[in-house]
Amino acid sequence: MTNKGTGLGVSFDYHAHSTYSDGGDITAMARQAADAGLDGIGFADHCNVTDPELSSHEVYSLHETYEARREEIRAAGECVDIRLFDAVELDFDPEAIGRLERFLEDAGFDFALGSVHHVEGRNVMHPPSTGQLSDAERTQLVDAYFEVVVTLIESELFEVVSHLDVPTRNPYLRGLPEREQYERVASALSRSRTVPEINLGRVLTPDAALHPDPAFLDVFDEAGTTFVVGTDAHSPGQVTARLDAAAGVLEDLPVDIVDGPAPFL
C-alpha cells in the first residue's frame, strides 16, 4: 500500500485545514503535501450553517468564503503538480438535513466531510463541557453521539464521515465507546455511499491514537468497510509529520484503505 516508494502508505490526504478555518496557508500546505510525496490533498475547512453562534464565527464561516477559497485553491494548483480538492468539513445537524442538503448543492464542493462535534449542546471533544457530568450522563452522551453519526451516514449527504469516534479525544469520554456502537456505525456504512476516514489528528500525541480506535477495526473489517485517510492537519508541517508517524501503522491496519482517488472523485 505504498506510493512512489515514499513509504507513506497512502497517496491522498482527504482532510486538511487552511486559513479559511483554523489551518495553514493553502499554497504552503499544497507544497508540503507535494514534497511529502502525496498525489492529492483535500482542503476540508470547518463550516457550520445550522448553529447561529458557530455559523457566524470566522472559524466555521466557509459558507461565506468558499468562492474566494476556491480561487485560492485554483491559483495554488498552478504552483504544485498534485491534485488539490475544494472540500468542506461540515457540521452535521440531524434536525436540519434539508438545509445542509441545499447548502451542499449550492456550493458544489469536490467532496464533503460530515462531522459531529456537538451533541445535545455540548462539544464532545472539549473536556470542560463534559467534566461535570455524572458517569451515567457521559455514557448517555457517547451513545447519543453514535446515534447522530448513524443518522449522518444514513442522510447520504456526505462523501466522507470524519473521525468516527471523536469523543475519545476527550479524556472524560475516552474508553466509553462500546463495540456495539461501532457495529451500528459499520452496519450503516455498509448500506451507504459514505466512506469513513482513518483520522490522524491524534497520531502524534503520546498515546499515538487513531480514529477509529484500532481496537475496534475488526468490526469494520468484518463489515467490508473501506476507509480514506485524513491528516486533519492544521499547518503545513503537520501534513508530513502525521503521515510519517502513521506510515508503518497504516500498513498494518486490518482494514482496506483507498490508496489513490476515492470512487467519489
* Residues at the interface with Zn ion (CB under 5 A): 89, 115, 232
The answer to whether 186 and 222 are in contact (CB under 8 A) is yes
Residue identified by cell 456502537 is 181
Measured from the CB of residue 13, what is the shortest distance to Zn ion in angstroms? 11
> What is the C-alpha separation between 121 and 232, in angstroms, rounded?
23
Q: Which is nearer to Zn ion, 27 or 238 (CB)?
A: 238
Q: Which is nearer to Zn ion, 23 or 40 (CB)?
A: 23
Q: Which of 229, 147, 224, 231 is nearest to 192 (CA)?
A: 224
Q: CA separation (Å) from 248 to 133, 234, 238, 240? A: 38, 22, 17, 14
Measured from the CB of residue 224, what is the shortest distance to Zn ion in angstroms? 25
3-state SS track over 37-88:
CCCEEEEEEEECCCCHHHHCCHHHEHHHHHHHHHHHHHHHHCCCCCEEEEEE
> What is the C-alpha separation between 251 and 122, in angstroms, rounded?
35
Q: Which is nearer to Zn ion, 46 or 184 (CB)?
A: 46
Q: Which is nearer to Zn ion, 150 or 233 (CB)?
A: 233
254 phi and psi, to 5 degrees? Answer: -85, 35
Number of H helices, E strands in the chain: 8, 10
Q: Which is nearer to Zn ion, 224 or 237 (CB)?
A: 237
Q: Which is nearer to Zn ion, 8 or 124 (CB)?
A: 124
Measured from the CB of residue 232, what is the shortest distance to Zn ion in angstroms? 4
Q: Which of 217, 206, 207, 205 is nearest to 250 (CA)?
A: 217
Helical axes 135-155 vs 179-190, angle rounded to 10°: 10
Measured from the CB of residue 207, what is the shortest distance to Zn ion in angstroms? 19
Measured from the CB of residue 170, what is the shortest distance to Zn ion in angstroms? 13
Measured from the CB of residue 142, what is the shortest distance to Zn ion in angstroms? 17
47 phi and psi, to 5 degrees? Answer: -155, 135
Q: Which is nearer to Zn ion, 32 or 115 (CB)?
A: 115
Measured from the CB of residue 39, what is the shortest distance to Zn ion in angstroms? 21
